[in-house]
Amino acid sequence: MKVSTRVEYGLIALTDIVIHSGMGQSVSGPEISARQHISQKYLEQILLLLRQAGFITAQKGLRGGYALSRPPENISMSDVLNALDGNILADLDDGGQDGDLRTVIKRCFWSRINSSLNKYTDSLTLGEFAEGCRSCFSDTWDMYVI
């Protein structure tokens, strides 16, 4: 499956915010950009999209940055994916004649995969996703809290 860089970087940015915004602190765009090796200019466009979708809030000033607008356990991954790319979880159009092999394959194969993906992303929260990412890298990440 191929996803756009907007979706990939959006997931990276949200996960970075979840991981690095302990105790209600905000995370700055330049910090995310440096940690994740994402162009700051492109990241700002994605963060704006995530803010408009209501997932994050922006704070201006010396200690400004981005924070989640609600707990990560209250954000479904399907909502995030739909906000970043409305087509990624969209239902497939049968658009063919009954008995046409192309239509049968869409119904019997691709529609089932799409349905499974929808069920999975509906049941997975951003909190669970971020925790899974954190645990995958627990051996290689050294997080120091001062």
pLDDT digit string (tens) for 39-57? Answer: 999 999 999 999 999 999 9
CB 46 within 8 A of CB 60: no
Average pLDDT, integer, range 82-105: 76
The CATH number for 83's domain is: 1.10.10.10
Of the pLDDT bands very low, low, confident and very high (cuts 50, 70, 90), residue 36 is very high
The whole-angstrom separation of Cα 1 and Cα 11 is 16
Indicate whether 51 belongs to any domain.
yes
Reported as a pLDDT band with limits 50, 70 and 90, residue 108 is confident
Q: Are 74 and 54 in contact (CB under 8 A)?
A: no
In a domain, 96, yes or no: no
pLDDT-derived band at 136 (thresholds 50, 70, 90) equals confident
Classify residue 111: in a domain, yes or no.
Answer: no
Distance (Å, whole) CA 78 – CA 51 = 16
Tell me which amino acid residue 57 is: T
Q: What is the mean pLDDT of the chain?
A: 87
Nearest to 42 by CA among 31, 29, 56: 29
Structure confidence at residue 103 (pLDDT): 81
Question: Which structure tokens are listed for 75?
Answer: 């954000």
- Would you say residue 26 lies in a domain? yes
Examine residue 81 and state whether it is found in any structural domain, yes or no: yes
**Host domain of residue 75:** 5-90+125-136
Could you give the count of Cα atoms lying within 13 Å of 10 in the half-sphere of its Cβ? Answer: 25
Would residue 143 count as lying in a domain?
no
Domain count, the chain: 1
The pLDDT score that the predictor gives to residue 112 is 87
Other CB atoms within a 10 A radius of the CB of residue 37 amount to 7
45 within some domain: yes
pTM of the complete model: 0.81
Confidence tier at 144 by pLDDT (50, 70, 90): low
Residue 74 maps to a domain = yes
Residue among 34, 44, 59 at smallest CA distance from 10: 44
